Amino acid sequence: MVTGVQTCALPISGLIGKKIGMTSVFGADGKNIPCTVIEAGPCVVTQLRTVEKDGYAAVQLAYDETNEKHTSAPLMGHFKKAGTAPMRKLVEFKADFQGELKLGDKFTVADIFTEGVAYVDVIGTSKGKGFQGVVHRHGFAGVGGQTHGQHNRLRHPGSMGASSWPSRVLPGMRMAGHMGNERVKVENLQVVKVIPENNLIVVKGSVPGAKGSYVILEA
């Protein structure tokens, strides 16, 4: 049974999470829906940005507790000021909190999402593919048959520009290079289910990144 959620009226509109993996659930119509399971929160407020002091209003959240020996001295002071244990991931969310929040406040899935229907945006870092050619990276077709005796340009990029003019490679030319390991945002993923006791949220479809990678959920 597919159940959705809607966001509640809190001053923040997102959470930090971790991609657990993919699964599938059956919807009310009996169709099998591919889903991604994300552990979202609990997140701790570690800094408050104000218009008067910083020029903009935002809330910094921290996620995924770690050891002190893996945390630098400046960050340890930052976490001690917030009265929390050291965390691995810090993210700022734009928010107009107007004094409603204080350092050390915690947020979970149940605080951000309530019963109803909703969609979320998920930001992650895509899997790195290394140095790839134009066929894999940009979907070039390559040269198909062995017509007219060609034998050495099956997956080659072809011409990169004219010689006499402009006598240079124009900006934006699609070429071989590093692929993946980029910040990717997927918008309007349907929320299938929320499991508050385990801080889990299940969304329809895939999410960028490998298992165990950090993701940002924006309501």
Q: Measure Cα distances from 54 to 7, 47, 81, 210 in Å.
A: 27, 12, 18, 35
Q: What does the pLDDT read at residue 16?
A: 95
CA distance 201 to 36: 8
Closest Cα partner for 60 from 104, 8, 2?
A: 104
SS3 40: strand
- CA distance from start to end of the chain: 22
What totals of helices (H) and strands (E) does the chain contain, helices first?
4, 14
In sequence order, which residues have a C-beta less than 8 Å from that of residue 69 and are 6 or more positions away? none
Residue 81 backbone phi and psi in degrees, to 5: -65, -35
Q: What does the pLDDT read at residue 149?
A: 77
200 CB-contact burial (10 Å; exposed 0-12 / middle 13-18 / buried 19+) = middle
Averaged pLDDT, groups of 10, the chain, 219 residues long:
51 89 92 95 91 91 93 94 94 82 89 72 96 96 77 89 94 97 95 91 95 93
Complete domains list, the chain, with CATH = 5-129+178-218 (2.40.30.10)
CA distance 161 to 171: 11
Computed over its alpha carbons, how large is the radius of gyration of the chain?
A: 23
pTM equals 0.86
Q: What does the pLDDT read at residue 10?
A: 63
CA atoms within 13 A on the CB side of 24: 6
Q: What does the pLDDT read at residue 115?
A: 52
Q: What does the pLDDT read at residue 1?
A: 46
Number of neighbouring beta carbons within 10 Å of residue 131: 9
